[in-house]
Amino acid sequence: MNRITNSAAGVTPARVALLGADQPWVGSFCRRVMALNFAEDRDINEPECLVPVLRELGLPATLLDEAQADANKARLHAQTDEARARGIFGAPTFFARGEMFWGNDRLDDALLFAANG
């Protein structure tokens, strides 16, 4: 794959997740999309891949249209710009008391650092 394809591989699901950032379904949606991408090697940008996930969660397929709306795209761009400005370069990234912790193997360190503040 070329660099452009790789960098855009999760844009559509990221836009859907942004719509649900404060909704109880967002965790289930993200876990299912990650399984599709990494375990099943599916193209998670394709609607035929995402619509069944939305249906499984009892969500309308129209979320895909909302995700592609200019306002939502602008929100994702703004969050991406903020992440770059904060020095985030991968996921997962955690911040505790202003300190950045990168990688799932650093979660315990971030929690300990946050608790000792």
The SS3 assignment for 99 reads strand
Long-range contact set of residues 101-105: C-beta below 8 Å, sequence gap at least 24: none
pLDDT surpassing 50 at residue 6: no
pLDDT surpassing 80 at residue 16: yes
Q: Give whole-number Cα distances, 66 to 16, 70, 75, 81, in Å.
A: 8, 9, 12, 21
Q: Which of 49, 52, 1, 57 is nearest to 28 (CA)?
A: 57
> What pLDDT does 33 receive?
95
User: Which pTM value belongs to this model?
Assistant: 0.79
Q: Looking at the DSSP assignment, which residues form a beta bridge with residue 93?
A: 102
Instruction: Give the mean model confidence (pLDDT) for residues 49-61.
Output: 97
Q: Looking at the DSSP assignment, which residues form a beta bridge with residue 99?
A: 96
How many residues are given for the chain? 117
The SS3 assignment for 84 reads helix
Residue range 24-36, pLDDT digits in tens: 999 999 999 999 9
- Beta strand 93-96 with 99-102: parallel, antiparallel or unpaired? antiparallel
Q: What element of type H or E holds 96?
A: strand 93-96
